[in-house]
Amino acid sequence: MDSLEIKGGTPLNGEVKVSGAKNAVLPILAATLLTREPCIIRNVPDLADVKTMCQILESLGASTKIDGDTITVQAAKVRDFADYDLVRKMRGSLCVLGPLLARLGQATVSMPGGCVIGTRPVDLHRKAMEALGAKVEIDKGYIIAKARKLTGGEMFLGGRAGPTVLGTANAMMAATLAEGITVIEHAACEPEVVDLGKFLNNIGAQIQGLGSPTLTITGVKELGGAEHEVIPDRIEAATYAIAGVATKGEVTLVGARPDHMKAVNEKLRESGVKVEQSKGKLTFKRGRGLHSVHITTLPHPGFPTDVQAQMMAFMTQTPGISIITERVFESRFGHVAEMERLGAEITIEGPSAIVHGVQKLSGGQVMANDLRASAALVIAGMVAKGTTQVNRIYHLDRGYENLDVKLKKLGANVKRVKQGWL
């Protein structure tokens, strides 16, 4: 198992190209199960999660071909059983449920795995499938859904912490082939959900209201093939932007979508960061002084939970006290104890982390416990004096394309090593 060894104290400077969005491409790949025709997906990041999704598609009977950043999928014949050994590896694999049910009238999908960041029940997925006329049960760790015919219906997908992103994706995909009209209220508005909707419309679906809390889907009898380019990854973009300013550098993002990053950019500006926009590029650098900020994570267009940990690493470097409140996942402060090993001063009070700015962090060994926590620890390591080793970086490989390579190009002193302190 690899680790990342980081010698801190070097500012990041230069340009970095933003890869395709992980959270968009996974449901889009799942959506190819809805059609017999070939689908060509472009701007696909080279990630462990993408490879896992391709393995899942192949286990279901589809063929996949990877050529650089392009994946061609054809699901001429499909099986209805998604096995535990593959599905357990990531939460996103649950999104094969909707397309399999719509295509075959039945689906058996293992309960998924993924990062341990809090309760992520499948109740809203079940509710969505039942609203379309399916019978759903959970037995021996599998979700079993059956329907002689899916029919349009109305559903409300608001959960305890807001709308469900994967649940909205599953509902959208299943409804495309349902008879009649489906209305989804309190649908997720994330850019990745919009991108999935655009792909579905490209292959012949009829979805209206993308980007709004209300989606109206008119079912069609069949779907065809299409080409689609995945949107840039707003979470990756935010991670590099924060890494740049945390290390007192200047980073330019190539291909980032400013309309997808409004909440992050606004908080960075509030903290004293200059955000400059030019054609196809966003540049981030420190202003005259930094300021503490208060952040509350919320569903889109609020501040994304997937950037909370990275922002916390940056807040250790700002004077004063910052309060970060997590309203999406209740167990997403697993990185706090590891940051404290590097000298951070952070207190947890209920759903909030109180971050005291410190003059410096010191290198040490830390353990990553989820994808975004891993990125935050890397940022903290690049800020810290001395050497930091981030262990269990397989999380990073799930969600960041060539992270260590991109960081080196920006000037970071990082290298991939075998597990163990060097």
Q: Is the pLDDT of residue 59 over 90?
A: yes
| Mean pLDDT of the 324-349 span | 90
pLDDT at 121: 63
pLDDT score for 158: 87
Helix, coil or strand: residue 235: helix
Per-residue pLDDT band at 418 (split at 50, 70, 90): confident
| Tens digits of residue pLDDT in 264-315 | 999 999 999 999 999 899 999 999 999 999 999 999 999 999 999 999 999 9
Task: For residue 37, count other CB atoms closer than 10 A to its CB.
Answer: 17
How far apart, in whole angstroms, are the C-alpha atoms of residue 387 and residue 421?
A: 10
Model confidence at 100: pLDDT above 90? yes
More confident residue, 164 or 253: 253
Give all domains of the chain, ordered by start, each with its CATH number.
Answer: 2-19+232-418 (3.65.10.10), 22-229 (3.65.10.10)
Task: Say if CB 389 and CB 343 are below 8 A apart.
Answer: no
pTM exceeds 0.85 for this model: yes
**Cβ neighbours of 320 (radius 10 Å):** 12
For residue 115, indicate whether it is catalytic: yes
From 36-50, 51-65, 356-370, the region with the lowest mean pLDDT? 356-370
In the block, tokens 């397309």 appear at 99
120 confidence band (pLDDT: 50, 70, 90): very low
Q: Average pLDDT, whole number, for the chain?
A: 93
Question: Is the predicted pLDDT of residue 201 greater than 60, yes or no?
Answer: yes
Write out pLDDT tens, residues 102-112.
999 999 998 87
- Identify the active-site residue in 39, 54, 95, 115: 115
Q: Please tell me the predicted confidence (pLDDT) of residue 414.
A: 97
361 CB burial (10 A radius; 0-12, 13-18, 19+): buried
Q: Which residue is associated with the tokens 């994808």?
A: 371
Lowest mean pLDDT among 31-45, 153-167, 218-232, 375-389: 153-167
Cα 99 from Cα 82, distance rounded (Å): 12
User: Which residues are CB-contacts of 169 (< 8 A; sequence separation ≥ 6)?
Assistant: 27, 30, 95, 98, 188, 193, 196
For the chain, what is the largest distance between any 2 Cα atoms, rounded to a whole number of angstroms? Answer: 65
Q: Above 60 in pLDDT, residue 119?
A: no
Q: How confident is the model at residue 113 (pLDDT cuts 50, 70, 90)?
A: low
Region of residue 129 (phi > 0: left; psi between -120 and 50: alpha; otherwise: beta): alpha
Q: Give 92's pLDDT tier (boundaries 50, 70, 90).
A: confident
